[in-house]
Chain A
Amino acid sequence: MLQTAFNALALGSVYALMAVGIGLVFGVLRLVNFAYGQLIMAGAYTLAIGSEHSWPQWASVLACFGVVIGLSLLLEVGLFRPLRGASPATMLVATFAVAFLLQSIALLKFGSLVKTASIFPGLFDPVGHGQFETVRKITIVAIVAAMVALAALTLLLAKTTIGLHMRAAAADFRTARLLGVRANEVVTLAVVISGVLAAAVAVILVVEDPFVEPQFALRDTIIVLVGVVVGGLDRLWTATLGGFAIGVATSVFTDELSSAHSVYVDSFVFGLVIIVLLLRPEGLFAPFRARTVERA
């Protein structure tokens, strides 16, 4: 029971981080980055390569952050910027294409054989004895990391000038520009933060599952994307809550379904998603006002 609760919280925390990464970029660009999972995959591969070449751990982690942030910025300049005025459907398909492209590049370069990333193996150990033997250190680290990251981001958005500019840009980009808010600065910051979060998630996921292949984190990303839309994409906190909720739901389903049915976790989660979307298409946590999902 304790293990189920902690597992659910941990998965919810990791998914919440991913949700923030996706939600931040959506807020300022009105663009759902389908390729977010591939950014995490790139980070995981960096960790794997570092681990294979016996780099010191801090160097691998640093490289991971560097690669993911660099790739995010490359996406911003190469894809997001040219697509700024395009229709939502075009942007959706374009990021879908890039997701596919990145995955195929990984397949091309590394093949489908698995690479092992041995990072912070000690975190895989249990936290304590007795009842706590089933809870791993990484689970606690994931929860704490998510809380710290979310707290830091909330502070940034609420207390700093650039945070104010980002909130304004997310609510009404055009007016923000009229007031002098630098569009590119705001967008770049959102992309960088999003990249930082993706890299952090890569590190956490790699500790839990050190086997890296081109489809690393693909299933997680699909589930988070779904959770974010269900939660409500137009506000950052509803998107985050959506990611958290679907993480908890997935984890609980996985632990609680009998072994005969456990292979159908995805169907249960997707089925739940469809039901929620039908009942509340504007988002599970959106307040009762005019629906805004229509604009997507």
Chain B
Amino acid sequence: MPEALLELDRLEVAYDGVPALRGLSLSVGRGEIVGLIGPNGAGKSTTLNAIMGLVPPRAGDIRFAGRSIKGRPPERVARAGIALVPEGRRIYPNLTVDENLRLGLAGRRGSGGDGVIESLRQLFPILDRYRKRPGGVLSGGEQQQLAIARALAAEPDLLLLDEPSLGLAPTVVDAVFERLAEIRERGVTTLLVEQRAQRTVAFADRTYALANGELRGIFGPADAGNTDKLVAAYFG
């Protein structure tokens, strides 16, 4: 495994005393795409939220490029080089597509924002076509592309995606995964949280399975066809 960019070290998170993550440890290497799967309530979103500083961990550590980022406020985590594409996209419906994109620049380190925006418009042609339209008129799949582009605008070292295929039609999901493949070509390190277990396991370099706040298994692409093993991890 290449040098670890993100490390979670026995992370514990609880909401009002109810444990959501019980001592989770995982790592994402530079340039890798790592998947995180599990049933509803497993703690997948909580993991991403903890990394972004939206929820304080009760115990354990989060290390990014070797340094601990535990307890940092979200805007500082973003500016450190981590971008989150949140669950449900969370596009600003009343801002234009362009404005939504430009908002992503807030997390940038360094200048050159205009150039990045331009290149993102080429990567996601939808965004070029709908520049001045309000974000709310885009379809679900288009909003997902906007959300990913917005995250990439910050040129992050680490991209976190929270269930990008949620609520999208199968063909649209295909399109999303194609985009993710293109992002992989560009060498952006990615942690992908998904409900679609098999697809994720086949796509990612390595996939962690989470259930009830704990790690239940680690899979490689070769395990994608092994339904029994996957089911065992979910319900074991």
B17 nearest CB across to chain A (Å): 18
In the complex, the answer to whether B102 meets A177 with C-beta atoms within 8 Å is no
In the complex, the answer to whether A164 meets B99 with C-beta atoms within 8 Å is yes
A278 nearest CB across to chain B (Å): 28
Name the one of B54, B73, B94, B150 contacting A179, with C-beta atoms under 8 angstroms.
B150
In the complex, the answer to whether A171 meets B154 with C-beta atoms within 8 Å is no
Name the interface size band of chain A: 10 to 19
In the complex, the answer to whether B86 meets A181 with C-beta atoms within 8 Å is no
In the complex, the answer to whether A178 meets B78 with C-beta atoms within 8 Å is yes
**Cα distance, A180 to B52, chains bound together (Å):** 11
Name the one of A171, A172, A174, A180 contacting B106, with C-beta atoms under 8 angstroms.
A180
Q: Mark B81-119, 1 if CB is under 8 A from A, else 0.
A: 001101000101011000100111111100000000000
**Cα distance, A182 to B73, chains bound together (Å):** 10
- B174 proximal to A (CB < 8 A): no
In the complex, the answer to whether A178 meets B79 with C-beta atoms within 8 Å is no
In the complex, the answer to whether B92 meets A181 with C-beta atoms within 8 Å is no
**Cα distance, A164 to B101, chains bound together (Å):** 11
Closest 4 CB pairs of A and B: A180-B107, A180-B78, A180-B106, A177-B74
Write out the residue numbers on chain B whose beta carbons fall within 8 Å of the beta carbon of A167.
Answer: 95
In the complex, the answer to whether B74 meets A164 with C-beta atoms within 8 Å is no
B211 nearest CB across to chain A (Å): 26
Given A172-B90, A178-B52: A165 and B74 interface contact (C-beta under 8 Å): no
A215 nearest CB across to chain B (Å): 39
- B182 proximal to A (CB < 8 A): no
A224 nearest CB across to chain B (Å): 25
**Cα distance, A165 to B102, chains bound together (Å):** 10
Name the one of A168, A176, A178, A180 contacting B108, with C-beta atoms under 8 angstroms.
A180
Additional A-B contacts beyond A164-B103, A175-B86, A176-B106 (18; CB < 8 A):
A161-B105, A165-B103, A165-B106, A168-B95, A171-B92, A171-B94, A175-B92, A176-B103, A177-B73, A178-B54, A179-B103, A179-B104, A179-B107, A180-B78, A180-B106, A180-B107, A181-B75, A183-B75
**Cα distance, A172 to B86, chains bound together (Å):** 13
Q: Which of A175, A177, A179 has the most CB of B within 10 A?
A: A179
A184 nearest CB across to chain B (Å): 9
A147 nearest CB across to chain B (Å): 24
Where the two chains meet, the residues of A that have a C-beta atom closer than 8 Å to any C-beta of B are: 161, 164-165, 167-168, 171-172, 174-183
Write out the residue numbers on chain A whose beta carbons fall within 8 Å of the beta carbon of B52.
Answer: 178
In the complex, the answer to whether B75 meets A180 with C-beta atoms within 8 Å is yes
Given A161-B102, A168-B95: A175 and B79 interface contact (C-beta under 8 Å): no
Write out the residue numbers on chain B whose beta carbons fall within 8 Å of the beta carbon of A177.
Answer: 73-75, 78
Write out the residue numbers on chain A whose beta carbons fall within 8 Å of the beta carbon of B78.
Answer: 177-180
**Cα distance, A179 to B73, chains bound together (Å):** 12
Write out the residue numbers on chain A whose beta carbons fall within 8 Å of the beta carbon of B150.
Answer: 179
Which residue of B is nearest A175, CB measured? B90
Given A167-B95, A171-B92: A183 and B104 interface contact (C-beta under 8 Å): no
Given A178-B84, A178-B86, A179-B154: A168 and B103 interface contact (C-beta under 8 Å): yes
Write out the residue numbers on chain B whose beta carbons fall within 8 Å of the beta carbon of A171.
Answer: 92, 94-95
**Cα distance, A179 to B101, chains bound together (Å):** 10
Name the one of B74, B102, B105 contacting A178, with C-beta atoms under 8 angstroms.
B74
Which residue of A is nearest B89, CB measured? A175
**Cα distance, A175 to B49, chains bound together (Å):** 11
Write out the residue numbers on chain A whose beta carbons fall within 8 Å of the beta carbon of B84.
Answer: 178
A-B contacts, 7 of them at CB < 8 A, read A161-B105, A168-B92, A168-B95, A180-B75, A180-B79, A180-B106, A181-B75
